[in-house]
Structure 1
Amino acid sequence: MRTPAIFICGLVLAPCGLILDLTSTVAPSWRTIHNIPGVSTDEVLQQGLWDICKTFTSSRDIQCNQQDTQYFSNQIIKIAQGLMLASLILNVIAIGVASLGVRCWTDTPNWTIAGIGGILIFISGVLAIIPVAWYTHIMTSISSPSTDIQVGYCLVLGFIGGILEVIGGLVMSIGLCRSCSDQYRGNRTRTDVLKSTRDPSPLRRVPAPSVSSGASSVPYYNSKDTNVDFPRAKRQPDSRPVNTAYTTRAYDSDL
């Protein structure tokens, strides 16, 4: 049996969202800070959830593991770290559950297990969107050495990854509706069968025609006695000539 399209869509979008969320979590570019006072004008500070890197627009030099205790002490950073890790772990578990439900190696998929996997994928997407949206909303209010703050590419990847997971989870959740409808249909059919066997409807009796010894149940019409309301055609006499010589002549075989 071919795998349903909703399961193929979910199993494609969920890993894509996982990769994007993983990149967003690990990469140190949730926001970029430009025009920092007291340093060179080409220096750009990239801040993420786990690391801070210093880059230069005039060269490709990158200096990571920058210390900023005030930045990492913000409440949003701790919450975002926990939610992004929870989203990644839950997404991995959800993909495994959904794969067991799809069961491409069998004839029919397990709609219930695949639907549960879709719900877990949907939750993992929501867990990824919450910290990304929250961080974007309060990005300018987080402690920063400069007021020239721009959105980093990690926020964009986090948004896209979370949306892909939400869409994939919603699509796969349709399997639960299919499972519930099949179960309801099966229970209804079973109930109808039990009801028909327990309370059979009485058979309808059809009166049989009475047969007497002297008369038949089928009426018989005598052509001589039956009066018809239309004139009958008269039978024409046979006018064909009769060969009398042929009929009266004797042959040897007759002797």
Structure 2
Amino acid sequence: MRLSLRTPGILIFGMVMAPCGWVLDLVATVAPNWRTLNGISNLPSDNFIEQGIWDICIASTISSGAQCGQADTQYFSNKIIQPAQGMMVASLIVTLIGLAVAIPGVRCWKDRPNWVVAGLGGLLIFCSGVLTIIPISWYTHSPPNITTPNVNTALITPRVGYCIILGYIGGIFEVLGGFVMFIGICRCCGGKNRGEVRVEEVMRRREPKTPTRRVEVPNLSRARSAASNSSVPYSRDSMEDDVPPDCS
């Protein structure tokens, strides 16, 4: 079945959502703002602590600068930190592998996409989104259990940082994009579930419709009836009289 050269919409959707999710996950992994701690007793009132999975910073509400690289072995020894580091890095790597697998299967320069290859790439992208959402959800639902020195987390309510929000959005982007690309493997409905249209149908739609020309065809029965009802009598003998005799 020859198909139109237009790239199916589900592949375009997946190839757009996956890189956007990867960028958001990268920011969520690197930036040290998974949660913020305000009202620390041994710090000025305008200072607060920003904690991530790789770094800790002390920032201020009256200045844009921040003192990063704070040593906190107790915080990094929590059981959530190391799994979160590994899963976020694995998510970034799996997303890149999924894009590398899906790109050759997407129809951009061929008559027909390779749905199996594109679907496998979508499956990898879907798994990378899951790898992002798991540590983000785990970290969000266990702030009181994440201890840090000289801070009584029972008296201070930790606030969710922007990395959590970006991580959620990036993970959802990857899950949606990967799932939509993966369902393209299904070979049902004659390819219409994948946005495929036959080339013949596309060309038929593009061809201008020429108006039909009406041709008048004489009615033979009417002509015969007119000849039979003629008022001039003809006979075979009269026709023979009109023929000149042969002089030879």
The Cα shift of 1:107 comes to: 1.1
Which residue among 30, 48, 70 is the counterpart of 1:66?
70
2:174 matches 1:170: no
How many equivalent residue pairs?
191
Contact 1:111 1:178 in 2 (8 A): no
For 1:121-132, list aligned pairs within 5 A.
Answer: 121-132=125-136
Aligned residue for 2:157? 148
Contact preservation (8 Å) 1:119, 1:170:
yes
Identity %: 55
Are the counterparts in 2 of residues 125 and 163 from structure 1 also a CA contact under 8 Å? yes
Instruction: Give the AA of the match of 1:157.
Output: L
**Partner Cα separation in structure 2 for residue 178 and residue 129 of structure 1:** 30
Partner of 1:160: 169
- Could you tell me which residue of structure 1 aligns to residue 30 of structure 2? 26
Runs of 4+ in 1 over 6 A off after TM superposition: none
Q: CA deviation at 1:253?
A: 5.1
Question: Structure 1 residue aligned with 2:90, among 79, 82, 86?
Answer: 86
TM-score by length of 2: 0.72
Equivalent position to 1:2, from 2, 6, 29:
6
Q: AA paired with 2:185?
A: L
- How far has the Cα of 1:94 moved from its partner? 0.1
SS at match of 1:139: coil
Question: Using the alignment, how far apart are the partners of 2:119 and 2:246 within structure 1?
Answer: 101
Higher relative contact order (CA 8 A, sep 6+): 2
CA distance in 2, matches of 1:26, 1:101: 31
Contact kept, 8 Å, 1:35 with 1:148, in 2: the verdict is: no
User: Which structure: larger Rg?
Assistant: 1
Superposed, 1:1-255 pairs within 5 Å as 1-144=5-148, 145-146=151-152, 147-178=156-187
Aligned-partner Cα distance in 2 for 1:52–1:43: 13
- SS of the equivalent of 1:46 reads strand
Over the aligned positions, Cα root-mean-square deviation in angstroms equals 2.5
Shift of the alpha carbon at 1:60?
1.6
User: Aligned with 2:80: secondary structure?
Assistant: helix
Distance 1:254 1:177, change over 3 A: closer
1:103 Cα deviation from its structure 2 partner: 3.8
Gaps of 5+ in 1: 183-239
What SS does structure 2 have at the residue aligned with 1:155?
A: helix
* C-alpha distance in 1 between matches for 2:8 and 2:168: 27
Distance 1:87 1:254, change over 3 A: closer
